[in-house]
Copies of this chain bind each other. A is one copy, B any other.
Amino acid sequence: MSRTTIKDVAAEAGVSLGTASRALSGNGSIAAPTRERVLAAARRLNFVPNAQAGSLRSERTRTIGLLIPDIRNPFFAELAHVVERSARSEGLSVMLCSADEDPQQMHDYATVLRRQRVDGIIVAPFSTARDSLRELQGSGTPLVFLDRTIPGMGVPAVVSDTRDAIADAVRYLVDQGAHRIGYISGPSETTTGVERLAEFRAAAAASGVDIEIAHGDFQEHSGRLGMRSLLARGVDGVLASDSLMTIGAFKECRAAGVKPAQDLPFVGFDDIAPFALLQPSLPLICQDLHSMGAAAVQMLLTQLGGVTSSQELRLEAHLKLPSGSEADSAQPIDPHHHES
């Protein structure tokens, strides 16, 4: 049993309960020999402190919440991994919540996290979850938005700046001979959905190319439907605006007997591992996931330190073209194996 409490440790070490606590938590002054004696006793008794009791008194849980739309989305899985590592290295545990792109579920999770009294929350929000998030904000929980944001809430955010990458993508599609570019957009409830669409429109206008828009919801299925609709509208180039819709669009092409990136100029989104299997490889808009996750944790830490800010950090995304296909790069086939 872990029925061992700090009281037992104190007795074993021959000190008072308060002293034992100071030795174990590292707060308050304590003589080195005493600390050693307590630590030894704790080790001997295989003592593991009760986090509930500690948090109750100290009002800090050393735990943060991570509220993402869907862990099955490889983009968010990778992001979750990065956040988790960063947090861990700061001594924070992460409670992961995957809301299935559903505002109601996001609301429920927000309550769970509030009940758990997490020290702070990193969230990729929908605008339709604004009320739930305001509630959290009102309860004093430090928030950081990641990947997406909700303008006007005064919450600091880490997002990608996709303007140039999308412009590059449009230029690339035009170079490939496209005159009528289809775009599969994300939902208007997300800033990524709205902004990327606006950036695409602007870029297309600058290039003087025709466009067709299919409205999607960042799920694979809508990628399929979007591509189906765009094909019916006779586009000769397509840009999908997230990884799952890229997968869906790709599948639909296949079902329609069209080879994306060969028969049909195509640019996908997010550099997730399995895309590297595709032959010929896909042009992709890549986000700097690692920096995003790490930055979000740092921002949250800043807030936990009592500093309130509403800074928005924008990290450049970029267009990544297939290595050898356009003969514009003489790079080796197998540069370095381990991607991390």
Contacts and interface: CB of A to CB of B under 8 A. Distances in A.
A15 interface: no
A80 interface: yes
Contacts of A140: 1-2
B96 A94 contact: yes
Contact of A98 (B84, B255, B275): B84
A139 interface: yes
A25 interface: no
A263 B224 CA distance: 30
A115 interface: yes
A163 interface: no
Interface residues of A, number: 60
A251 B334 CA distance: 9
Given A1-B140, A139-B1, A337-B221, A81 B98 contact: yes
A232 interface: no
A78 B74 CA distance: 10
A273 interface: yes
A327 interface: no
A50 B117 contact: yes
Given A1-B140, A93-B95, A49 B338 contact: no
Interface string A262-294: 000000000011111111000000000000000
A56 B48 contact: no
Interface in A215-251: 220-221, 224-225, 247, 250-251
A51 interface: yes
Given A95-B95, A139-B2, A77 B84 contact: no
Contact of A251 (B49, B53, B114, B276): B276
Contacts of A70: 81
Contact of A333 (B1, B48, B96, B255): B255
Interface of A: 1-2, 46, 48-53, 55-56, 61, 63, 70-72, 74, 77-78, 80-81, 84, 93-98, 111-112, 114-117, 135, 139-140, 220-221, 224-225, 247, 250-251, 254-255, 259, 272-279, 333-334, 337-339
